[in-house]
Amino acid sequence: MFDTLTQRMTRIVKTLRGEARLTEANTQQMLREVRLALLEADVALPVVRALTARIKEKALGAEVLDSLTPGQALVGVVQRELTAIMGGDDASQTAELQLAVKAPAIILMAGLQGAGKTTTAGKLAKFLREQQKKKVLTVSCDIYRPAAMAQLKTVTEQAQTDYFPAQAEQSVLEIAQAALNWAQRHYHDVLIVDTAGRLGIDTAMMQEIAALHAALNPAETLFVVDAMLGQDAVNTAQAFNTTLPLTGIILTKLDGDARGGAALSVRHVTGLPIKFVGVGEKLDGLETFHPDRMARRILG
């Protein structure tokens, strides 16, 4: 197993004891360890660079230098910087869904196949019904995989909300439009639109979801990404973010042993808030995102 960031920092600070203060040389050593530990936690290189620059500045400050427990002070600095880079205490950066538009508010789900879009659509339907008393309709625009449509129907039933069935011969845009008409006629507050993912970034998929976005004008366009993807999460996020005006990120599979670096990277690279995290296959496995908790997870 890798050493955790906290273990590494504690070790460095121990070796620094006895030296009167942090010097340029021992600061470089400390930053090198921090950099390695962040990379091991799946944080992308540009993010690691930005972060270590900020940590260097703070580590050489009085808070750490004058502390009786410089190790803890340093861990504190790193924890705060990690938290800040993920949205910090700014509630607007981690706020839940922005659905205050003329009903039905549309939530468009975007992401690669296997990211957890359909499961998360079910989780959101349940969350909105139970926590916000919303009347929710879901629809799948995945005309390529009948199993994906059946899966959304199943999770929608589990969430005890409504599911809009597509007709086999309809196009993606026709399905979305029909679902929207239905939602308007039946006074749904929210329409969750699940989309087809691919195994990798694919031009046809991007064009399709961009067309859906243009037709639907969603209140939220959520990029769903698997935390286990680590570094690859960043490339995918960037590709989606340049094609679609995303409004937020949902990071799934955090109940696994992902170190959480993907959260940091995706947040930093896209500038988008992480709105929720997925912590299980079941529909109650959805939590709001807490930058401080994620920072602790990355620190290990």
Report yes or no: 279 and 255 within 8 Å, Cβ to Cβ: yes
- What is the DSSP-derived secondary structure letter of residue 259? -
Query: Annotated binding residue at 113?
Result: yes
Query: Annotated binding residue at 66?
Result: no
Count of chain residues binding ligand GDP (CB under 6 A)? 19
For ligand GDP, which stretch binds (CB under 6 A), given 14-22, 96-104, 237-245, 276-284?
276-284
- What is the DSSP-derived secondary structure letter of residue 229? G
Q: Identify the CA nearest to 223 among candidates 283, 263, 165.
A: 263
Q: Determine the Cα angle at 266 with ends 54 and 283, to 5°.
A: 130
Q: Identify the CA nearest to 48 among candidates 60, 59, 36.
A: 36
Cis status of the peptide bond prior to 104, with omega within 30 of 0: yes
For ligand GDP, which stretch binds (CB under 6 A), given 21-29, 124-132, 174-182, 277-285?
277-285
Report yes or no: 176 and 215 within 8 Å, Cβ to Cβ: yes
Q: Which element (helix H / strand E) includes 191?
A: strand 190-194
**Comparison of 71 and 278: residue with beta carbon closer to ligand GDP:** 278
> Rounded to the nearest whole angstrom, what is the least distance from the CB of residue 241 to ligand GDP in the complex?
17
**Comparison of 255 and 292: residue with beta carbon closer to ligand GDP:** 255
**248-252/136-140 β-pairing:** unpaired
In the list 197, 218, 248, 261, the residue contacting ligand GDP (rule: CB under 6 A) is 197
Q: Which residue is nearest to ligand GDP (CB)?
A: 278
| String marking each residue 106-145 x if it binds ligand GDP according to CB under 6 A | -----x-xxxxxxx--------------------------
Query: Annotated binding residue at 194?
Result: yes
**Comparison of 88 and 114: residue with beta carbon closer to ligand GDP:** 114
Q: According to the binding rule CB under 6 A, does residue 255 interact with ligand GDP?
A: yes
| String marking each residue 199-238 x if it binds ligand GDP according to CB under 6 A | ----------------------------------------
**Comparison of 3 and 232: residue with beta carbon closer to ligand GDP:** 232
> Rounded to the nearest whole angstrom, what is the least distance from the CB of residue 133 to ligand GDP in the complex?
24
Determine the Cα–Cα distance for residues 219 and 11; give it in Å rounded to an integer. 48
Query: Annotated binding residue at 117?
Result: yes
* Residue 292: C-alpha distances to residues 81, 108, 212, 221, 279 (Å): 10, 28, 35, 25, 17
Query: Annotated binding residue at 42?
Result: no
- What is the DSSP-derived secondary structure letter of residue 62? H
Determine the Cα–Cα distance for residues 233 and 43; give it in Å rounded to an integer. 10
Residues found near ligand GDP in the complex (CB under 6 A): 111, 113-119, 151, 197, 252-253, 255-256, 278-281, 285
